[in-house]
Chains A and B, each alone.
Chain A
Amino acid sequence: MNEELDNHIHKLRQQHKLSQQELADAIGVSRKTISTVETGRFTPSVVIALKIAAHFNVPVEQVFALK
Protein backbone atom coordinates (compact mmCIF):
# COMPACT_ATOMS: atom_id res chain seq x y z
CA MET A 1 0.00 0.00 0.00
CA ASN A 2 1.26 3.45 -0.88
CA GLU A 3 1.19 5.46 2.35
CA GLU A 4 1.47 8.82 0.61
CA LEU A 5 -0.77 8.57 -2.43
CA ASP A 6 -4.54 8.43 -2.56
CA ASN A 7 -6.56 7.78 -5.70
CA HIS A 8 -10.17 8.09 -6.80
CA ILE A 9 -10.13 5.68 -9.74
CA HIS A 10 -12.74 3.36 -8.22
CA LYS A 11 -15.13 6.27 -7.66
CA LEU A 12 -14.56 7.65 -11.17
CA ARG A 13 -15.08 4.20 -12.69
CA GLN A 14 -18.35 3.81 -10.87
CA GLN A 15 -19.51 7.24 -12.01
CA HIS A 16 -18.71 6.33 -15.63
CA LYS A 17 -19.99 2.74 -15.21
CA LEU A 18 -16.67 1.29 -16.34
CA SER A 19 -15.10 -2.00 -15.35
CA GLN A 20 -11.38 -2.30 -14.65
CA GLN A 21 -10.94 -4.23 -17.89
CA GLU A 22 -12.68 -1.55 -19.92
CA LEU A 23 -10.55 1.19 -18.40
CA ALA A 24 -7.43 -0.92 -18.93
CA ASP A 25 -8.32 -1.52 -22.61
CA ALA A 26 -9.06 2.16 -23.10
CA ILE A 27 -5.66 3.33 -21.90
CA GLY A 28 -3.65 0.34 -23.17
CA VAL A 29 -2.57 -1.35 -19.93
CA SER A 30 -3.45 -4.64 -18.28
CA ARG A 31 -6.38 -5.03 -15.88
CA LYS A 32 -3.84 -6.00 -13.24
CA THR A 33 -2.17 -2.60 -13.62
CA ILE A 34 -5.48 -0.85 -12.99
CA SER A 35 -6.41 -3.06 -10.04
CA THR A 36 -3.03 -2.65 -8.32
CA VAL A 37 -3.03 1.12 -8.88
CA GLU A 38 -6.58 1.31 -7.55
CA THR A 39 -5.72 -0.61 -4.38
CA GLY A 40 -2.54 1.42 -3.88
CA ARG A 41 -0.19 -1.56 -4.30
CA PHE A 42 1.46 -0.06 -7.36
CA THR A 43 2.31 3.55 -8.13
CA PRO A 44 1.95 4.22 -11.86
CA SER A 45 4.08 6.46 -14.05
CA VAL A 46 3.06 10.02 -14.88
CA VAL A 47 2.06 8.79 -18.36
CA ILE A 48 -0.54 6.36 -16.99
CA ALA A 49 -1.76 8.92 -14.45
CA LEU A 50 -2.30 11.45 -17.25
CA LYS A 51 -3.97 8.85 -19.50
CA ILE A 52 -6.44 7.93 -16.73
CA ALA A 53 -7.19 11.59 -16.04
CA ALA A 54 -7.62 12.29 -19.77
CA HIS A 55 -9.95 9.31 -20.13
CA PHE A 56 -12.23 10.63 -17.39
CA ASN A 57 -11.77 14.17 -18.68
CA VAL A 58 -10.65 15.52 -15.30
CA PRO A 59 -7.39 17.09 -14.06
CA VAL A 60 -4.88 14.55 -12.76
CA GLU A 61 -5.26 16.03 -9.24
CA GLN A 62 -8.84 14.74 -9.22
CA VAL A 63 -7.58 11.20 -9.81
CA PHE A 64 -4.49 11.20 -7.58
CA ALA A 65 -3.83 13.22 -4.45
CA LEU A 66 -1.26 13.26 -1.69
CA LYS A 67 -2.63 12.05 1.65
Chain B
Amino acid sequence: MEINETRSKINETRKKINARLGVVTPEIEQQYLAYTGKISVAAAVLLLMSVAQEFLGDKGSVMYWVLGCTMLSGVILVLLLSIKSIKFYRYTNRLGFWSLKFQDEYADYVSASSLRITCHIMMFGGFQLAILGDSQWFLEFLMPVGLTDALLALLGVAMLTHGVLILWKLREEDAGE
Protein backbone atom coordinates (compact mmCIF):
# COMPACT_ATOMS: atom_id res chain seq x y z
CA MET B 1 0.00 0.00 0.00
CA GLU B 2 2.79 2.40 0.99
CA ILE B 3 4.74 1.54 -2.15
CA ASN B 4 1.74 2.45 -4.31
CA GLU B 5 1.24 5.76 -2.48
CA THR B 6 4.93 6.62 -2.86
CA ARG B 7 4.77 5.67 -6.53
CA SER B 8 1.72 7.90 -7.06
CA LYS B 9 3.45 10.81 -5.32
CA ILE B 10 6.56 10.35 -7.46
CA ASN B 11 4.43 10.33 -10.63
CA GLU B 12 2.53 13.45 -9.54
CA THR B 13 5.81 15.25 -8.82
CA ARG B 14 7.20 14.10 -12.15
CA LYS B 15 4.12 15.47 -13.95
CA LYS B 16 4.46 18.84 -12.19
CA ILE B 17 8.16 19.08 -13.13
CA ASN B 18 7.38 18.09 -16.74
CA ALA B 19 4.67 20.75 -16.95
CA ARG B 20 7.05 23.38 -15.58
CA LEU B 21 9.84 22.40 -17.99
CA GLY B 22 7.48 22.23 -20.97
CA VAL B 23 8.19 18.54 -21.60
CA VAL B 24 5.83 17.00 -24.17
CA THR B 25 4.20 14.08 -22.40
CA PRO B 26 2.07 11.38 -24.10
CA GLU B 27 -1.02 12.95 -22.49
CA ILE B 28 -0.25 16.35 -24.06
CA GLU B 29 0.17 14.69 -27.47
CA GLN B 30 -3.21 12.97 -27.13
CA GLN B 31 -4.89 16.18 -25.96
CA TYR B 32 -3.46 18.01 -28.97
CA LEU B 33 -4.58 15.25 -31.32
CA ALA B 34 -8.10 15.37 -29.84
CA TYR B 35 -8.14 19.14 -30.44
CA THR B 36 -7.20 18.66 -34.09
CA GLY B 37 -10.04 16.13 -34.37
CA LYS B 38 -12.57 18.56 -32.88
CA ILE B 39 -11.38 21.43 -35.09
CA SER B 40 -11.63 19.16 -38.15
CA VAL B 41 -15.23 18.24 -37.31
CA ALA B 42 -16.24 21.87 -36.66
CA ALA B 43 -14.57 23.07 -39.88
CA ALA B 44 -16.19 20.22 -41.83
CA VAL B 45 -19.64 21.19 -40.52
CA LEU B 46 -18.92 24.75 -41.62
CA LEU B 47 -17.94 23.68 -45.15
CA LEU B 48 -20.78 21.19 -45.60
CA MET B 49 -23.39 23.66 -44.35
CA SER B 50 -22.14 26.33 -46.74
CA VAL B 51 -22.49 23.89 -49.67
CA ALA B 52 -25.94 22.84 -48.41
CA GLN B 53 -26.98 26.50 -48.28
CA GLU B 54 -25.76 26.99 -51.84
CA PHE B 55 -27.68 23.88 -52.90
CA LEU B 56 -30.86 25.06 -51.19
CA GLY B 57 -30.73 28.50 -52.85
CA ASP B 58 -34.03 29.80 -51.40
CA LYS B 59 -32.76 32.46 -48.99
CA GLY B 60 -36.15 33.03 -47.41
CA SER B 61 -36.76 29.43 -46.27
CA VAL B 62 -36.55 28.24 -42.66
CA MET B 63 -34.04 25.56 -43.68
CA TYR B 64 -31.72 28.22 -45.06
CA TRP B 65 -31.74 29.96 -41.68
CA VAL B 66 -31.23 26.70 -39.79
CA LEU B 67 -28.19 25.97 -41.96
CA GLY B 68 -26.97 29.54 -41.39
CA CYS B 69 -27.27 29.14 -37.61
CA THR B 70 -25.41 25.80 -37.78
CA MET B 71 -22.67 27.52 -39.79
CA LEU B 72 -22.44 30.28 -37.19
CA SER B 73 -22.14 27.65 -34.44
CA GLY B 74 -19.36 26.01 -36.47
CA VAL B 75 -17.48 29.33 -36.77
CA ILE B 76 -17.82 29.99 -33.02
CA LEU B 77 -16.68 26.43 -32.21
CA VAL B 78 -13.64 26.66 -34.51
CA LEU B 79 -12.69 30.00 -32.91
CA LEU B 80 -13.15 28.70 -29.36
CA LEU B 81 -11.15 25.55 -30.05
CA SER B 82 -8.41 27.58 -31.73
CA ILE B 83 -8.21 29.91 -28.73
CA LYS B 84 -8.15 26.97 -26.32
CA SER B 85 -5.42 25.28 -28.34
CA ILE B 86 -3.10 28.27 -27.74
CA LYS B 87 -1.79 26.36 -24.72
CA PHE B 88 -0.09 23.94 -27.13
CA TYR B 89 1.91 26.68 -28.90
CA ARG B 90 4.72 26.48 -26.34
CA TYR B 91 5.35 22.91 -27.52
CA THR B 92 5.32 23.81 -31.23
CA ASN B 93 8.94 22.83 -31.82
CA ARG B 94 8.69 19.43 -30.21
CA LEU B 95 5.07 18.41 -30.67
CA GLY B 96 3.99 17.10 -34.07
CA PHE B 97 2.31 20.45 -34.47
CA TRP B 98 2.15 20.55 -38.26
CA SER B 99 3.34 17.07 -39.20
CA LEU B 100 0.86 15.34 -36.85
CA LYS B 101 3.60 12.84 -36.03
CA PHE B 102 3.75 11.88 -32.39
CA GLN B 103 6.13 10.13 -30.01
CA ASP B 104 3.32 8.28 -28.24
CA GLU B 105 2.67 5.16 -30.29
CA TYR B 106 -1.09 5.08 -29.97
CA ALA B 107 -1.46 8.81 -30.76
CA ASP B 108 0.76 8.34 -33.81
CA TYR B 109 -1.21 5.27 -34.92
CA VAL B 110 -4.53 7.17 -34.60
CA SER B 111 -3.12 10.19 -36.43
CA ALA B 112 -1.56 8.12 -39.23
CA SER B 113 -4.60 5.89 -39.80
CA SER B 114 -7.05 8.84 -39.93
CA LEU B 115 -4.74 10.80 -42.26
CA ARG B 116 -4.41 7.73 -44.53
CA ILE B 117 -8.18 7.44 -45.01
CA THR B 118 -8.51 11.22 -45.45
CA CYS B 119 -5.79 11.12 -48.09
CA HIS B 120 -7.62 8.33 -49.97
CA ILE B 121 -10.87 10.33 -49.95
CA MET B 122 -9.09 13.45 -51.23
CA MET B 123 -7.20 11.53 -53.92
CA PHE B 124 -10.24 9.61 -55.17
CA GLY B 125 -12.57 12.63 -55.02
CA GLY B 126 -9.98 15.03 -56.42
CA PHE B 127 -9.25 12.64 -59.27
CA GLN B 128 -12.95 12.40 -60.16
CA LEU B 129 -13.36 16.18 -60.09
CA ALA B 130 -10.20 16.69 -62.16
CA ILE B 131 -11.33 14.18 -64.80
CA LEU B 132 -15.00 15.19 -64.95
CA GLY B 133 -14.62 18.88 -64.07
CA ASP B 134 -14.65 20.19 -67.66
CA SER B 135 -17.50 17.99 -68.92
CA GLN B 136 -20.69 19.90 -69.65
CA TRP B 137 -22.93 17.03 -68.46
CA PHE B 138 -21.08 16.92 -65.14
CA LEU B 139 -21.52 20.65 -64.57
CA GLU B 140 -25.23 20.27 -65.37
CA PHE B 141 -25.39 17.30 -62.99
CA LEU B 142 -23.89 19.44 -60.22
CA MET B 143 -26.42 22.26 -60.70
CA PRO B 144 -27.34 24.38 -58.81
CA VAL B 145 -23.92 24.17 -57.17
CA GLY B 146 -20.67 24.68 -59.03
CA LEU B 147 -17.33 22.93 -59.23
CA THR B 148 -15.97 25.00 -56.34
CA ASP B 149 -18.84 23.85 -54.12
CA ALA B 150 -18.21 20.25 -55.13
CA LEU B 151 -14.59 20.72 -54.08
CA LEU B 152 -15.72 22.29 -50.79
CA ALA B 153 -18.03 19.31 -50.19
CA LEU B 154 -15.15 16.91 -50.85
CA LEU B 155 -12.96 18.85 -48.42
CA GLY B 156 -15.79 18.81 -45.87
CA VAL B 157 -16.24 15.04 -46.14
CA ALA B 158 -12.49 14.49 -45.84
CA MET B 159 -12.19 16.74 -42.77
CA LEU B 160 -15.26 15.17 -41.16
CA THR B 161 -13.79 11.69 -41.69
CA HIS B 162 -10.46 12.83 -40.26
CA GLY B 163 -12.01 14.36 -37.14
CA VAL B 164 -14.56 11.63 -36.45
CA LEU B 165 -11.94 8.87 -36.78
CA ILE B 166 -9.62 10.62 -34.33
CA LEU B 167 -12.35 11.28 -31.78
CA TRP B 168 -13.71 7.74 -32.13
CA LYS B 169 -10.32 6.13 -31.57
CA LEU B 170 -9.49 8.42 -28.65
CA ARG B 171 -12.86 7.92 -26.97
CA GLU B 172 -12.92 7.00 -23.32
CA GLU B 173 -13.95 3.46 -22.64
CA ASP B 174 -14.09 1.13 -19.72
CA ALA B 175 -10.36 0.75 -19.37
CA GLY B 176 -10.49 -2.35 -17.20
CA GLU B 177 -8.42 -0.79 -14.42
Contact = CB atoms under 8 A, between A and B. Distances in A.
- Chain B residues touching A, majority SS: helix
B26 A20 contact: no
A36 B14 CA distance: 24
B14 to A, nearest CB: 7
A25 B104 CA distance: 12
Contacts of B7: 22
Interface in B126-177: 170, 173, 175-177
B85 interface: no
Contacts of B175: 20, 31, 35
B177 A29 contact: no
Nearest to A43: B109
Given A22-B11, A24-B26, A38 B105 contact: no
Interface string B41-83: 0000000000000000000000000000000000000000000
Q: Main secondary structure on chain A at its contact with chain B?
A: helix
A22 B29 contact: no
A21 B27 CA distance: 11
Contact of B30 (A10, A32, A48): A32
B107 interface: yes
Interface residues of B, number: 19
Interface residues of A, number: 22
B92 interface: no
Contact of B106 (A10, A22, A28, A33): A33
Interface string B106-125: 11010000000000000000
Contact of A33 (B4, B8, B26, B176): B26
Nearest to A30: B26
Given A10-B176, A28-B26, A29-B104, A42 B109 contact: yes
B105 A44 contact: yes
Nearest to A48: B105
A33 B176 CA distance: 13
